[in-house]
């Protein structure tokens, strides 16, 4: 990411007029690596986020982050004790370094004025946040680094604060010495030269400098000057497909993608990091729910295999009845000690002979009874397994439907609805003990809404939304669903009694196909009918319906 010294200095430059002179009204956190200072200045409120995340260290103003008000770490408590209600005197960042120092004046419980530096070191996995007192001693830090972790530099309360060991690199504005080093550079890779010799430049920034230099050594210093001294910033992010590549000072020509502009670099950074964190949260929650579903699906599949084996082993129950009847009919022929009976089998056409193995320890009548008992037992087994197979198959089909909805989820709200459904069916323990999702839900938030030729088309992305769509629709609305595939319910809001135009049906059918398991098929069959012909399956889960009087269209979502 380009949160290098150049970008960081720009962010700090934007922060100065907004927060210097402000008071810290509140200190909260979103996780164990992050603190947020709520600052008031001239009736304006700012949330300054500082993170020492090893994978995502950062600092920027934000209004869009979920705070964990109940999180109360030792470091958070320490900050509240020493700098809450304190006044921000200055915020600085040295060019070439990714270290931010916030100078704060604060009074203790006795009213004595103290001075502190809140230090954020953005150094990848070594990132840290430290509170340093006026004697330059570490008051506390978000991460403690004892001797057994690092023999080079320890970070512990009471120790003197020492900056991280300086890199043996040139500052990015030391153009004269950089040029001298470049003249002595014999390698061919300009990227290697800049990354190894110039401090504070991120890979994306280096790539942009080299790109603007046309990859030529003789143009490199001039383009480095333009990059470092450029005051005409145009903050933006770039989006390639469904991925935000990064945030930038201006339009990086070396990076492809759709550009989205912002007024400040802080806003661009906030948008980028919030999107990145949301994607991480979506991925984590999706994986958790997927694991629950996969475990349940594997268990049901295993039970179905066992039931099928039991069912198959009992399918010869009629044979047990036949053998029992043949034994009964031939009891008079069986003598003590006979090991087998050869008799006529009148149940075949033509009549054939059958050889039945005998148990010399049991009487012939008891042997016949054993076959009759096996006959009845296998009959019961088939009835029981058929009933259980039908029940387990329906549950497996239901869970596969939820699994498909999970793949279509695009927001935390979508995932939360699926989580609530899994709580409802008992696959996840309800920690809150509150049944926010019930089968009587009519809330339709979260559904995809599309306008086409004057019609509103609504598409659910999970069973909760599908259920809400069904319950909130009017009899004249048109309901669509992919034929024989798991997928979303789609509804055409239809104030008229007549069926909407065929073009509208086709468009809505493509929406239904797009949000279904058949989305990759060249031709997808989609059924449609009026809502009045759709009915809830009795005793079934959310979104499960039956329908009649339907028609079918075939669509290709890529056309």
Record the tokens describing residue 7, joined without a space.
């970008």
Within this chain, do residues 430 and 290 fall inside the same structural domain, yes or no? Answer: yes
Count of H-run helices and E-run strands, the chain: 12, 22
Is 429 inside a domain boundary? Answer: yes
pLDDT 10s digits, 204-216: 999 999 999 999 9
| pLDDT at position 18 over 60 | yes
* 481: three-class secondary structure by DSSP: strand
Segment among 84-93, 310-319, 488-497 with least mean pLDDT: 488-497
Record the tokens describing residue 121, joined without a space.
């070191």
- 310 — pLDDT class (breaks 50, 70, 90): very high
Within this chain, do residues 101 and 199 fall inside the same structural domain, yes or no? Answer: no
Q: Span 313-317, mean pLDDT?
A: 93
Within this chain, do residues 351 and 482 fall inside the same structural domain, yes or no? Answer: no
Is 267 inside a domain boundary? Answer: no
- 67 — pLDDT class (breaks 50, 70, 90): low
Residue 195 CA to residue 85 CA, distance in Å, equals: 42
Is 270 inside a domain boundary? Answer: no
The last residue of one of the domains, among 389, 412, 437, is: 437
* pLDDT score for 357: 93
* DSSP symbols for 360-411: TTS-HHHHHHHHHHHHHHHHHHHHHHHHHHHHHHHHHHHHHHHHHHHHH--S
pLDDT 10s digits, 109-152: 888 999 999 999 999 889 999 999 999 999 999 999 999 988 88
Beta bridge partners of 100: 93, 120
| pLDDT at position 346 over 50 | yes
- Residue matched to tokens 């996780």: 31
Within this chain, do residues 429 and 290 fall inside the same structural domain, yes or no? Answer: yes
H or E stretch covering 89: strand 87-93
Q: Are 120 and 104 in contact (CB under 8 A)?
A: no
Let me know the angle formed at the C-alpha of 420 by 397 and 481, rounded to the nearest 5 degrees.
40
Within this chain, do residues 431 and 457 fall inside the same structural domain, yes or no? Answer: no
Q: Residue 478: which of 496, 462, 493 has the closest Cα?
A: 493
Q: Residue 462: which of 393, 542, 517, 546 has the closest Cα?
A: 542
* pLDDT score for 521: 79
| pLDDT at position 252 over 80 | yes
* pLDDT score for 14: 95
Our count of domains for the chain comes to: 4
Segment among 204-218, 342-356, 432-446, 499-513 with least mean pLDDT: 432-446
Within this chain, do residues 303 and 422 fall inside the same structural domain, yes or no? Answer: yes
pLDDT 10s digits, 154-191: 999 999 999 988 788 999 999 999 999 999 988 789 99
Is 279 inside a domain boundary? Answer: no
Within this chain, do residues 116 and 191 fall inside the same structural domain, yes or no? Answer: no
Q: Are 268 and 237 in contact (CB under 8 A)?
A: yes
| pLDDT at position 68 over 60 | no
Q: Span 58-77, mean pLDDT?
A: 78
Higher pLDDT, 530 or 435: 530
Q: Span 218-231, mean pLDDT?
A: 92
- CATH label of the domain that carries residue 62: 2.30.310.10
Is 153 inside a domain boundary? Answer: no
Within this chain, do residues 305 and 424 fall inside the same structural domain, yes or no? Answer: yes
| pLDDT at position 499 over 80 | yes
Within this chain, do residues 426 and 297 fall inside the same structural domain, yes or no? Answer: yes
Is 166 inside a domain boundary? Answer: no
**Which range of residues forms the domain containing residue 185?**
171-209+216-228
Record the tokens describing residue 517, joined without a space.
């398991």
């Amino acid at each position: 990411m380009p949160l290098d010294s150049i970008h960081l200095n720009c962010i700090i430059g934007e922060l100065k007029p907004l927060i210097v002179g402000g008071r810290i009204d509140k200190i909260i956190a979103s996780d164990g690596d992050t603190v947020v200072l709520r600052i008031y200045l001239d009736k304006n409120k700012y949330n300054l986020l500082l993170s020492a995340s090893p994978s995502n260290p950062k600092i920027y103003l934000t209004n869009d982050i979920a705070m964990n008000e109940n999180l109360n770490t030792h470091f958070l408590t320490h900050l509240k004790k020493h700098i809450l209600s304190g006044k921000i005197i200055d915020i600085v960042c040295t060019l070439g370094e990714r270290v931010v120092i916030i100078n704060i004046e604060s009074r203790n419980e006795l009213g004595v004025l103290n001075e502190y530096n809140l230090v954020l070191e953005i150094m990848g996995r070594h990132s840290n946040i430290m509170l340093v007192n006026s004697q330059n001693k570490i008051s506390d830090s978000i991460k403690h680094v004892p001797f057994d972790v690092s023999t080079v530099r320890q970070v512990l309360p009471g120790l003197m604060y020492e900056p991280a060991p300086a890199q043996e690199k040139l500052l990015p504005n030391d153009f004269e010495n950089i040029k001298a080093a470049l003249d002595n550079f014999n390698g061919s890779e300009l990227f290697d030269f800049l990354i190894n010799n110039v401090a504070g430049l991120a890979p994306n920034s280096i790539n942009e400098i080299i790109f603007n230099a046309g990859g030529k050594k003789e143009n490199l210093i001039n383009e480095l000057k333009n990059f470092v001294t450029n005051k005409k910033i145009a903050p933006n992010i770039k989006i390639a497909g469904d991925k935000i590549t990064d945030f930038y000072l201006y339009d990086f020509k070396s990076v492809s993608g759709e550009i989205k502009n912002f007024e400040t670099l802080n806003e661009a950074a906030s948008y980028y990091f919030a999107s990145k964190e949301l994607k991480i949260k979506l991925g984590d929650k999706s994986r958790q729910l997927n694991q629950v579903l996969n475990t349940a699906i594997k268990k049901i599949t295993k039970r179905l295999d066992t039931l099928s084996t039991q069912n198959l082993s009992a399918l010869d129950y009629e044979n047990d009845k036949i053998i029992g009847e043949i034994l009964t009919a031939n009891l008079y022929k069986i003598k003590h000690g006979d090991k087998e009976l050869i008799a006529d089998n009148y149940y075949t056409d033509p009549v054939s002979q059958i050889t039945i193995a005998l148990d010399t320890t049991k009487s012939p009548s008891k042997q016949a009874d054993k076959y009759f008992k096996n006959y009845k037992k296998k009959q019961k087994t088939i009835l029981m397994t058929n009933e259980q197979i039908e029940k387990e198959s329906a549950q497996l089909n239901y869970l596969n439907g939820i699994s498909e909805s999970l793949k279509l989820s695009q927001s935390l709200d979508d995932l939360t609805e699926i989580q609530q459904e899994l709580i409802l069916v008992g696959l996840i323990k309800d920690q809150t003990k509150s049944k926010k999702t019930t089968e009587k839900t009519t809330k339709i938030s979260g559904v995809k809404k599309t306008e086409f030729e004057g019609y509103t088309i609504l598409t659910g992305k999970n069973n909760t939304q599908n259920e809400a769509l069904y319950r909130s629709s009017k009899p004249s609305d048109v309901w669509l669903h992919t034929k024989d595939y798991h997928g979303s319910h789609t509804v055409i809001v239809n104030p008229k009694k007549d069926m909407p135009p065929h073009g509208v049906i086709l468009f809505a059918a493509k929406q239904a196909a797009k949000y279904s398991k058949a989305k990759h098929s060249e031709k997808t069959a989609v059924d449609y009918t009026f809502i009045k012909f759709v009915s809830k399956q009795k005793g079934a889960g959310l979104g499960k319906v039956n329908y009649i009087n339907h028609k079918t269209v075939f669509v290709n979502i890529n056309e």
